[in-house]
Amino acid sequence: MTGHIVTTPFGRRTMTLGQIASQMKARAAPKDAAVNKWQTFQHIREARDLLGATDRALAILNALLSFHQETVLTGDGDLIVWPSNDQLMARANGMPPTTLRRHLVVLVECGLIIRRDSPNGKRYARKGRGGKIERAFGFDLSPIVARAAEFKDMADAAQAEKRAFRRARERLTLLRRDIVKLIDTCTEEGVPGNWDRVQQNYQATISRLPRSAPRQLVESICEELEVLWREILDVLESFADSWNTDANESHFGRHIQNSNPDSNSESESGTGEREEAGCSAEGTHNLRSQPKRDLPLEIVLSACPNMRELAQSGELGHWRDFLAAAELVRSMLGISPSAWREACEVLGERQAAITLAAIYQRADQINSAGGYLRSLTDRARDGKFSTRPMVMALLRAKPDAEKTLSKTYGRPPDDGVRNEGNASDSLRRPKS
């Protein structure tokens, strides 16, 4: 075909920069380019959201492609088709005329076709001698050839986004199921913790999720839920693991039994220097072989509820609040800054605070808190002391511990103090 290439639409239709850009891309297509029109149409259909095309617009494009006889479209071929509206509506499953015109505009705006309007706006072709088409007016399919590689990349990106969204939805479903069932388990098994507050936090997070949420929001919600899931799981695993430890869990009771009842001052040669009678080589080996797992804050506060009374912000909801309360306990118990500093260096600040909370919980049974802290620090330096047995001994000494354990395991646990009475008795100072 020869002659002037029409660039502007007929009638009151306006020209846009997007249409000019589409025509520029079509002219820039290599002459030797060749694409399978149905394969490219499949890519367009997969990338329709990125292109901004509608389902009905794609139905019209499918009909337009069917009017071109060749399956392979080339850059140097005649790519203009000129079906009437009646023909298009018939191949588009009886689409109404107003809907047809509206979605033809969508195809043009998406850069999938180019209008080649005649002087009177009709679609037709003029043939020359020998029946060869010299000039045609209608819809130009050259963008299908010119942008075939772009459509493929967009289709790959759309598929990748779809897979990522599916993974995010799967992750969200699993997290929601796990959190709900873990909270139920903690409540039914009597695991220490404010599970009503945890449930409220979960509901508040889920309430921000609309019915049709984008992938980015789903992934953001998943990140928050995973943090909550990890906190619940840590508490539950620590609680389950605490009842399977060996006789070392009764060490804290023996520590207090061996403290010097006559000591009234903190000194290097006070109660901290004495060796516990019940510490054997086998017990030390078992203590060192226990997994190094941090105790959750809820477990510590359940074992040492007296610490809650010292919360400066009204609630010990974070470890930083717990550490601030421990500093207040240090001054209340009369422990020197040097003893506290040494405990923090050996045990670590958090473990030292847990040790101090346990001492404060049984302050009425310990005559020299400072000397006792130094003794525990020395034992920790030799690898013979851990805060987990201490906390678990306090936790078992609670009045409802036996009921909770029987409900959970169907029998009293092996707490390693069979010959010394229950855990509560082992934590009392022996009478002189």
Question: Residue for token digits 């239709």?
Answer: 13
pLDDT at 155: 94
Question: Using CA of residue 111, residue 116, residue 120, residue 121, what is the dihedral sign?
Answer: negative
Angle at 83 between CA 78 and CA 88, to 5 degrees: 130
Angle at 319 between CA 314 and CA 324, to 5 degrees: 60
CA gap 34, 423 in Å, rounded: 84
CA gap 426, 229 in Å, rounded: 36
Listed residue (10, 13, 5, 19) closest to 121, CA to CA: 10
Number of C-beta neighbours around residue 79 at 10 A: 25
Lowest mean pLDDT among 129-138, 143-152, 197-206: 129-138
CA gap 342, 215 in Å, rounded: 50
Task: Check if the beta carbon of residue 29 is closer than 8 Å to that of residue 140.
Answer: no
For 299-355, write each residue's pLDDT tens digit: 888 888 888 887 766 677 788 888 888 888 888 888 888 888 888 989 888 899 899
- Residues facing 124 on adjacent strands: 137
Q: How far is CA 278 from the centre of its chain?
A: 46
pLDDT at 312: 66
pLDDT at 258: 41
Model confidence band, residue 414 (pLDDT cutoffs 50, 70, 90): very low
For 30-68, write each residue's pLDDT tens digit: 777 888 999 999 999 999 988 889 999 999 999 999 998
For 76-123, write each residue's pLDDT tens digit: 778 888 898 899 888 888 889 899 989 998 998 888 888 887 877 788
Length of the chain: 432
User: Which residue would you say has higher pLDDT here, 89 or 270?
Assistant: 89
Q: Which of 8-17, 69-78, 208-217, 277-286 has the highest mean pLDDT?
A: 208-217
For 205-254, write each residue's pLDDT tens digit: 999 998 888 999 999 999 999 999 998 888 888 777 765 543 344 444 44
Amino acid code (one letter) for 243: W
CA gap 203, 90 in Å, rounded: 52
Structure tokens at 140: 């130009």
pTM of the model: 0.53
The three-state DSSP-derived secondary structure of the chain is CCCCCCCCCCCCCCCCHHHHHHHHHHHCCCCCCEEEHHHHHHHHHHCHHHHCCCHHHHHHHHHHHHCCCCCEEECCCCCEECCCHHHHHHHCCCCCHHHHHHHHHHHHHCCCCEEECCCCCCCEEEECHHHCEEEEEEEECHHHHHCHHHHHHHHHHHHHHHHHHHHHHHHHHHHHHHHHHHHHHHHHCCCCCCHHHHHHHHHHHHCCCCCCCCHHHHHHHHHHHHHHHHHHHHHHHHHHHHCCCCHHHHHHHHHHHCCCCCCCCCCCCCHHHCCCCCCCHHHHHHHHHCCCCCCCHHHHHHHCHHHHHHCCCCCCCCHHHHHHHHHHHHHHHCCCHHHHHHHHHHHCHHHHHHHHHHHHHCHHHCCCHHHHHHHHHHHHHCCCCCHHHHHHHHHHCCCCHHHHHHHHHCCCCCCCCHHHCCHHHHCCCCCC
Cα distances (Å, whole numbers) of residue 292 to 14, 194, 296, 379: 73, 25, 13, 17
Model confidence band, residue 293 (pLDDT cutoffs 50, 70, 90): low
